[in-house]
Amino acid sequence: MKGYVVRGRGTYASNSIFLPCAGNVLWTSLRYYGSYGGYWSSVPLGSKYDSWELGFNFVSDAHGMSKGDGYYGRSRGNPVRPVQ
């Protein structure tokens, strides 16, 4: 499965986590499985609907942090990766 291995820095340099291109769910439809991965931060931005998102798209070769899109925001079902 496509995805990225994200590695820690400094004290956490030996830690890593694999984030797969698991797509997301909007209403009841699974979208972009295998080509897109998006993961919400735990901190809302100004409203309960927006948050920072770490996203990557293998089709357009784009990746990085972005604000939620405002309309769907966090109601768009991105997967959750538990981290201790």
Tens digits of residue pLDDT in 49-73:
777 888 888 888 888 887 765 556 6
5 within domain boundaries: no
3 within domain boundaries: no
Specify the pLDDT at position 45: 77
49 within domain boundaries: yes
Share above pLDDT 90 across residues of the chain, in percent, rounded to a whole number = 19
Is the pTM higher than 0.75? The answer reads: no
7 within domain boundaries: no
Which backbone phi and psi does 74 adopt, to 5 degrees?
A: -75, -5
SS3 26: strand
How far is 17 from 37, CA to CA, in rounded Å?
13
Mean pLDDT, the chain, whole residue set: 81
State the amino acid at position 55 in one-letter form. Answer: G
Are 67 and 50 within 8 A, CB to CB?
yes
Provide the number of structural domains found in the chain: 1
Share above pLDDT 70 across residues of the chain, in percent, rounded to a whole number = 83
13 within domain boundaries: no
